[in-house]
Structure 1
Amino acid sequence: MLRTLLFVGTNIAIVMVLGIFLNIILPIFGVSLGDTSGLLILCLVFGFGGSFISLLLSKWMAIRSTRAKVITAANTPMERWLLQTVQRLSQKANIPMPEVAIFPSNSINAFATGASKNKSLVAVSTGLLQHMSQDEQEAVIAHEIGHIANGDMVTMALIQGVLNTFVMFFARLIAGAISSFVARGEQGRGLGMFAHIAVVFVLEMILGVLASIIQMWFSRQREYRADAASANLVGAPKMIAALERLKQSAEPELDGQLVAFGINGKRSEFFASHPSLEKRIAALKGA
């Protein structure tokens, strides 16, 4: 399914660029690696800046990456039903009507994205429309509406901002200690500078992996809440039926950031954006 690596993928790319820029401006602001307060403030600015840039770009990136077609006027009975269903469920959830899109994919999937509840998007795959009953489709749409109503896009951005700050700050602290150790006197200064740049890059990659584990844990908790929201909107039996249908699907998942806001995410438990379908069904059944 489409996701933990469009918001996350976009965010990583932006943060890497901002990280390079951060290295350049540290001396301009008179911030040394020993000035932890100044370094932390700049990392907060850049960490949250990268996260919110990703959030603002999320809808545009989602549409482009999935080749989704935004439906402004229904041309078929299916499109009419889809628009009416999203409108009805969004009214029931007390949120503004999201944009609606269909993206070409044989997999059964859907996702929600957008910078805010007022600028959101719900997209479903052609595979979902072809292989699910209308009751199951309605439950999946309600799940995505639940993500929007719960403010999950902004929550993800805030969590990502904290994690970005953590990665950028500690990578530079550790790299500063290592490069200071390597740089011994005037002759070692060039080597120390090279070591610092190299270690920052490596540490950002390593700490980024650790941060993604934390991010995915939050994502899994969010999925339970979206499932519960769907159950409240259309009834637990419909959502359970939709998840049972997903268990029969062996199609690949969404790519990138969108996995976190999709209906289905298949990854190893540690890095999974979604709990297992069995756990989600059990939660809906009250087990």
Structure 2
Amino acid sequence: MMRIVLFLATNIAILLVAGLVLNMLGFDGRMAANGVDFNLSALLVWCAVIGFGGSFFSLFISKWLAKRTTGTVIIDRAQTRSEQWLLDTVAGLAQEAGIKMPEVGIFPSQAANAFATGWNKNDALVAVSQGMLERFSPDEVRAVMAHEIGHVANGDMVTLSLIQGVVNTFVMFFARIFGNYVDKVFFKTEQGMGPAYYVSYIVAELVLGFLASIIVMWFSRLREYRADEAGANLAGTTAMIAALRRLQVESGIPVEMPDSMTAFGINGGLKNGLAGLFLTHPPLEDRIAALQQRGH
């Protein structure tokens, strides 16, 4: 539940800051100058600029943010056999997947996890936790790295940013339409924006942002299946299933990753019911079943 709350809080904060920017620029006032019939086309363009701008800004700083929030140490030059093996493994997987060698890092967590991020597939970062390197077999770690390379090769980070940009745009757009309607029709504000407009559109952004996050989470779960399939193609279905089963065994160990990075990790936790709509990852048993159906 804490992941859901923090995710929604982050998304809502982006929208509210964007709204503040629009207000400071005097945009909302110009939209309301003619009463209810304001310029919908101009409003949509502005919301798109802000919505996509925030989403792609997050994408462009994703590697920088990931390194600092997870404490990831980039392996510039291998100091141990384990680090050399990891570099060689990722290099081989990247070559097979047809992408440039990503940065490779290790983050200080005893939880079994890994993630991939970056603004394009030829300028990415893949990282694995110290705990996974210590406890997983080489074949299992290789399968996990293949899964993360699959995310990179599939362009999942860019696609997720596009979807988030669309979601942000329409949440802002419809929230302002709702706020203007309430202000003009119910409170009869004739000039400018009344208090009812600001209260209404903030409430609408909260509600619409909550509902829209379901779409983003649905895509995040879908991309996990695609990354599992890519990992199976690169490392073998048997190895990919073995890695996921090992994650099942270790599911009792807390996942020590910042909530902002949960969607990028291989182990997103296990939940069912209504909360499942807000999961970044499908249940591990469902992912294993999907791989078993594809065969070897």
* TM superposition score normalised by structure 2: 0.88
Structure 2 vs 1, CA of residues 8 and 121 (structure 1 numbering), >3 Å: closer, same or farther? farther
Shift of the 8–143 alpha-carbon distance from structure 1 to 2, 3 Å rule, reads: farther
Q: Unaligned regions of 5+ residues in structure 2, if any?
A: none
Equivalent residue runs for 1:52-131 within 5 Å: 52-131=56-135
Label 1:10 to 1:72 Cα distance change in 2 as closer, same or farther (>3 A).
farther
Q: Counterpart in 2 of 1:37?
A: 41
1:277 Cα deviation from its structure 2 partner: 0.5
CA RMSD in angstroms comes to: 2.3
**Are the equivalent residues in 1 in contact too, given 2:228–2:240 (CA < 8 A)?**
yes
Q: Is the 8 A contact 2:12 2:206 kept in 1?
A: no
Partner letter of residue 16 of structure 1?
L
Structure 1 distance, partners of 2:9, 2:116, is 17
Q: Secondary structure at the match of 1:105?
A: coil
Shift of the 277–27 alpha-carbon distance from structure 1 to 2, 3 Å rule, reads: closer
2:270 matches 1:263: no
Correspondence for 1:252? 254
Q: Distance in 2 between matches of 1:257 and 1:168?
A: 22
In the alignment, what sits opposite 1:220?
221
> 1 CA distance for matches of 2:8 and 2:122?
22
Per-residue CA deviation, residues 205-252 of structure 1 (Å, 9 max, x unaligned), is 221111110111111110000000000001000000000001111123
What is the Cα deviation at residue 57 of structure 1?
Answer: 1.2
Change (3 A) 1:12 1:112: farther
Q: Note the C-alpha offset of 1:11.
A: 5.7
Deviations, residues 97-116 of structure 1 (Å, cap 9, x unaligned): 00011111111000000111
The 8 Å contact of residues 23 and 29 in structure 2, kept in 1 or not, is answered as no
1:198, distance to aligned residue in structure 2 (A): 2.1
How many residues are aligned here?
282
Residue 17 (structure 1) shift: 1.7
The 1-side partners of 2:27 and 2:47 are apart by 14
Distance 1:73 1:42, change over 3 A: same
Q: How much has 1:19 moved relative to structure 2?
A: 2.1
Q: Which piece of structure 1 moves more, 127-136 or 21-30?
A: 21-30
Q: Distance in 1 between matches of 2:220 and 2:248?
A: 20
SS of match in other structure, 1:100: strand
Question: Could you tell me how far 1:177 is from its partner in structure 2?
Answer: 1.0
AA matched with 2:39: D
Q: Is the 1:11–1:54 contact (alpha carbons within 8 Å) kept by the matching residues of 2?
A: no
Partner secondary structure for residue 121 of structure 1: strand
- Residue in 1 that maps onto 2:282: 275
For 2:20, give the aligned amino acid. Answer: I
- Please tell me whether the aligned partners of residues 14 and 54 of structure 1 are also in contact (alpha carbons under 8 angstroms): no
Alpha-carbon distance in 2 for matches of 1:24, 1:273:
34
1:283 and 1:275 map into 2 onto residues whose CA distance is 11
Which residue number in structure 1 is paired with residue 203 of structure 2? Answer: 202
